[in-house]
Chains A and B, each alone.
Chain A
Amino acid sequence: MVQQDEYVAQLKKYLDPKTIARISGLGLQARLIVEGYLSGTHRSPYHGVSVEFVQHREYVPGDDIRHVDWKVWSRTDKYYLKQYEEETNLRAYFVLDASESMSYASGEVTKFDYARYVIAALCYLVLQQQDSAGLVVFDERVEQYIRASNQPSHLKQLLHILEQAQPQGKTALGSSLHDVAERVEGRSLVVILSDFFGDVDSLLKGLQHLRHRKHDVIAMQVLDGAELDFPFRDSTLFEGMEELPDVLTDPRALRAAYQREFGAFVEQLERGCLARRVDYVRLRTDQPLDVALSSYLAHRNKRLRR
């Protein structure tokens, strides 16, 4: 039992973005995050899923032996797997903001890295649950669009795209979301990971478009702790990203005013999401990654119960 607890604790630490950042390979990172997350829960998200049996298929090494149909084995002495069809047919599209502003980090982990961990972990989770996962990477426009698929091998492709992506260029959230809304097929779950820095009105219009297409939308705003707390003390030259001018100032004197401005922006965003029945989740890069996972799962459960 003690050994079990130690193992759980070991896994749990991978929820810390700083720890996970030291591990190389997005695939391993994704798995560790998810296992770290799951190690604490007693109810497996893999179980209790309402599925419908479709057919049997012969076992090949690598398949999960839990799906082996032992009744068939007892009769035929052969290993067959039960195959189920998704009753809910969940399609999740993960939309990653790869604009320059996402490259900011006050510590070791950039917002972009954090967002990538979240997407990688969620992709892993989605595909483990036999759901379909798709990926959209955008900055000024949609750079990458991977259609959703529930094939386990799909994960490899998704992770590869994620690893290749670099944060650069300006953001054009509104137009990119319009584009996404047009491309995503059927009713899907659209999870957007972005700092949402840019014009809030056009962003909300984009979200509205997605909602209009009957998509479920989770807006996960990835923010650095420094962007919220503004902890700077000495005279600092703030170099603008995405073609904004530099500012030299005494940050202590400016802190209150900045926090007022930034708070107003976040609040406007949150309200806009609420009004459009878009789930808004705020992620801080200095927080454990389970917040993102929990909110995804909560959303999925809610949707499945509907």
Chain B
Amino acid sequence: MGPLGFLHPGLLWGLLLAGIPIIIHLLSKRRYRRVRWAAQEWLLAAVKKSARRMRLEQLLLLAIRTLILLLVALAVARPMAEQGQLAVFSTVRTHRIVMLDGSLSMGVAVAGTSRFDRAVQLAESIVRMSRPGDAISVLLVARPVRTVVPGPDTNRDAVMAELASLKVTSGGADLNEAFARAAQLFELSRYPRREVYVISDLQRATWASQQLTPEQLQAIGRDVSVVVVDVGSENARTNAAVTDVAMEQPLAVTSQPAEVRVRVRNFGDRPLDGLGVEVSVNGRTAGRQAIRLEPGQEREVRFTVQFTESGFQHLVARIDADLLPLDDRRWLALPARDRIRVLLVDGEPASGGFEAETAYLKVALVPDRELAGLVPFETEVISESDLIDTQLDQYDLICLCNIGQWTEAEANRIEQYVRHGGSVLIFLGDQVEATSYNEQLFRNGQGLLPIRLLDRVGDPVQRSDVFRLDPGDYSHPVVKPFEGAPSASLVSTMVYAYVRVELEQATEAAGLAVALRYDSGDPAILTGRFGRGKVAVVTTSADTEWTTWPVWPSYVPVMQELARYLVAPDLSQWNLEVGTPIVLEPQPTMGQVRVSAEMPDGSRLERLWEADRSELQLGETWQAGIVRLYLGPPDPKQLIYAFNPPRAESDLTRVDPDELRALLGGLPVRYVRDLDTDEDGSQQPTRQGSELHRPLLYAALMLLVIELALAWRLNRPH
């Protein structure tokens, strides 16, 4: 039906009624009265003279009657000039840029048809109504913006095919970028008339969050007419979303159950009761709860899951589907470990008892053989001198306890190890030579040591000064478990000597944080980052030489937490927002690598990566879900990434037309509404008056008058 849409397309069957006059006409030819007629001679003469005129009159009457019924049947089906308002009957060759809002909120679906579906239909009708010489460009306004048809393309079929293949993304929309691209496209085109159609749901998150600068809008050109087509007026007011899914402990081990926190928010204006929240691990359901959410309320729901195998795992948290299904799920990709291997480097080795520097620490990490199943740590002790010969990258954590001096080679090895993701825990002690540490490890902020070491405070022999530990506001993850637990005796721990450090010189970029201080104010435990790894410094000794801490009850939990903190992976590298590219850093040891990516929608991307030369960037991440990256051959390896929608997209608040005009200030904007649709799916005609049934009925009425007049004229007595 071209640019016509119908509110009640089912009633179009009524068009068949138009056949009634024709059927009556045909039947009347078959049904007639018989009269034996005497004055046949004059009848024959009359027929001979007026047959032609009669046939014409009859056909005219028949046509009018058929047309009346056609018009009435059409009017009953309530035709909408959905696109009639868009139609620009211009005789000038026109370049039209269609910007389709591809953000997540366009996935709101009422009665099986999403906003995006309608947007695509509208775009198709814009293409259809274009005259043969007109050109089309199509932009999918997502984040990042995708140029679907760079154009100006005059091949309608090609444009239609591209439109049909478009899918709504799970991300946001970058309007700034879209307008910038439009300006670029117009710069290249040579068409005298230019139009921009923005088909969007006018979601506040898309429109009001980005400041469209006047310069950007002006760049499109003053003579460009902008039509904003609103496809979001169906007033969907209920939406709940999973806003976050996170691990209580970033370190997942197969030997221990792990806690998952799922945050769910009700963005709608009515309470949700019995909303199902479900978590599954690697496709298997791990738990389900039903919750109640008041309008605007956000709740955290906790689940306990158990990872059964090591390697990359993926977790899905989902809620019962609603009008916007795209934000009802959130994914988490993370590696799970069987064991955590810890290398203890002893600067003061001894055999037997607790003489050795690392003895307490070793017990703290693996308190009991019987507990070995519950504690993931596995320790190995070497002496300082063995450090240079040990293959370091097989360990997750290296504890350097009371190492006296550093050679350049040792420092380089350990630095290299941390740079590539290893973690180091440094304990100080009586053998530590601060200058060697500062020269080799601190290197004026360039090394892995995050701070410069100063002098020793306190006397470990006389034990004249006693320092106690001060966890401050318990904000650091290492001491957070002690908050509100005075019996854990953390604050009663006594320290007799420690090394002062120079915090002022510490570089902010190192991600330096003080986990624990002494009551003198100096740091006791510092954590920092180096390369992809983490570093922690404990400014006192690992054994009882400078402190009674190792025999104090708080020692074991703090050390456990510290070790876990240091080996915990940074999940953000695998958990990305939709639209963020996957970036793999160059790998000098690898050559050319075949990369295959399995996208959330099941499609596959194949790349050949010169791993030793350049980084790999995969940008086509518009869909939420799990992306599996297969590297190799050679050396096959699998990585899992989780892509999640931006939280702001779940809020379906809209900007109103006046606000819209203000946002697009300075541009001549025409605002067109698609349809008012209620949530129950029933559609109401827009108040914009694009309905056609009234003029159709008027036309039918006029024809009826004409029919009566004509029929009267034909049958009147002469």
Which A residues lie at the B interface, using CB under 8 A?
100-104, 111, 195, 197, 224, 227, 232, 234-242, 244-245, 247-250, 252-262, 265
Once the chains bind, are A239 and B715 in contact (CB under 8 Å)?
no
- Closest CB in chain B relative to A303 CB, distance in Å: 32
* Contact A227 to B33, CB < 8 A, known contacts A252-B714, A255-B717, A256-B718: no
Taking the complex as formed, is B13 at the interface, i.e. its CB lies under 8 A from any CB of chain A? no
Once the chains bind, are A244 and B58 in contact (CB under 8 Å)?
no
Once the chains bind, are A104 and B37 in contact (CB under 8 Å)?
yes
A242 to B40: give the CA distance in the assembly, Å. Answer: 9
Once the chains bind, are B34 and A261 in contact (CB under 8 Å)?
no
Once the chains bind, are B54 and A239 in contact (CB under 8 Å)?
no
* Contact A239 to B718, CB < 8 A, known contacts A254-B54, A257-B50: no
Note all chain A residues with C-beta closer than 8 A to B714. 252-253
Once the chains bind, are B35 and A237 in contact (CB under 8 Å)?
yes
Which residues of B, 1-46, contact A by the 8 Å Cβ criterion? 28-29, 31-46
Which B residues lie at the A interface, using CB under 8 A?
28-29, 31-47, 49-50, 54, 57-58, 714-715, 717-718
A254 to B50: give the CA distance in the assembly, Å. Answer: 7
Once the chains bind, are B45 and A235 in contact (CB under 8 Å)?
no
Once the chains bind, are B29 and A235 in contact (CB under 8 Å)?
yes
- Which residue in A195, A239, A248, A249 is a CB contact (below 8 Å) of B36? A239
Once the chains bind, are A237 and B34 in contact (CB under 8 Å)?
yes
Note all chain B residues with C-beta closer than 8 A to A111. 38
- Which residue in B28, B40, B54 is a CB contact (below 8 Å) of A253? B54
Note all chain B residues with C-beta closer than 8 A to A256. 717-718
A51 to B46: give the CA distance in the assembly, Å. Answer: 54
Once the chains bind, are A244 and B46 in contact (CB under 8 Å)?
no
Return the chain A residue nearest B711 by Cβ: A252
Once the chains bind, are A197 and B39 in contact (CB under 8 Å)?
yes
Note all chain A residues with C-beta closer than 8 A to B44. 240, 244-245, 247
A130 to B29: give the CA distance in the assembly, Å. Answer: 59
* Contact A252 to B715, CB < 8 A, known contacts A235-B29, A257-B50: yes
A101 to B43: give the CA distance in the assembly, Å. Answer: 14
Note all chain B residues with C-beta closer than 8 A to A102. 38
Q: Known contacts A224-B38, A253-B54; can you find 9 more A-B pairs with CB under 8 A?
A: A232-B33, A237-B33, A238-B37, A239-B37, A249-B43, A253-B715, A256-B717, A258-B46, A260-B46
* Contact A227 to B718, CB < 8 A, known contacts A237-B34, A248-B32: no
* Contact A238 to B35, CB < 8 A, known contacts A249-B47, A257-B50, A261-B45: yes
- Closest CB in chain B relative to A185 CB, distance in Å: 33
A182 to B33: give the CA distance in the assembly, Å. Answer: 44
Note all chain A residues with C-beta closer than 8 A to B57. 253
- Closest CB in chain A relative to B4 CB, distance in Å: 37
A-B contact pairs, 16 of them (CB 8 A): A101-B38, A197-B41, A227-B38, A227-B39, A234-B28, A237-B35, A239-B36, A239-B37, A240-B44, A244-B44, A253-B50, A253-B54, A256-B718, A257-B50, A258-B46, A259-B718
- Which residue in B29, B39, B49, B718 is a CB contact (below 8 Å) of A255? B718
Once the chains bind, are B36 and A104 in contact (CB under 8 Å)?
yes
A236 to B36: give the CA distance in the assembly, Å. Answer: 10
- Closest CB in chain A relative to B711 CB, distance in Å: 9
- Closest CB in chain B relative to A221 CB, distance in Å: 12
Select the residue from B29, B33, B40, B57 with max chain A CB neighbours within 10 A. B40
Once the chains bind, are A247 and B47 in contact (CB under 8 Å)?
yes
A101 to B37: give the CA distance in the assembly, Å. Answer: 8
- Closest CB in chain B relative to A102 CB, distance in Å: 8
- Closest CB in chain A relative to B710 CB, distance in Å: 11
Once the chains bind, are B50 and A262 in contact (CB under 8 Å)?
no
Once the chains bind, are B43 and A254 in contact (CB under 8 Å)?
yes
Note all chain A residues with C-beta closer than 8 A to B58. 250, 253
Note all chain B residues with C-beta closer than 8 A to A227. 38-39
- Closest CB in chain B relative to A107 CB, distance in Å: 13
Return the chain A residue nearest B718 by Cβ: A256
A244 to B718: give the CA distance in the assembly, Å. Answer: 27
Return the chain A residue nearest B55 by Cβ: A253
Once the chains bind, are B36 and A241 in contact (CB under 8 Å)?
yes
A135 to B44: give the CA distance in the assembly, Å. Answer: 34
Once the chains bind, are B33 and A244 in contact (CB under 8 Å)?
no
* Contact A235 to B33, CB < 8 A, known contacts A253-B714, A255-B717: yes
Note all chain A residues with C-beta closer than 8 A to B31. 235
* Contact A257 to B46, CB < 8 A, known contacts A235-B28, A235-B32, A239-B35: yes
Note all chain B residues with C-beta closer than 8 A to A240. 37, 40, 44
- Closest CB in chain A relative to B131 CB, distance in Å: 46
Once the chains bind, are A258 and B35 in contact (CB under 8 Å)?
no
- Closest CB in chain A relative to B37 CB, distance in Å: 4
A242 to B46: give the CA distance in the assembly, Å. Answer: 18
| Closest A-B pairs by Cβ, 9 of them | A257-B46, A104-B38, A101-B38, A256-B718, A261-B42, A238-B37, A240-B40, A244-B40, A235-B32
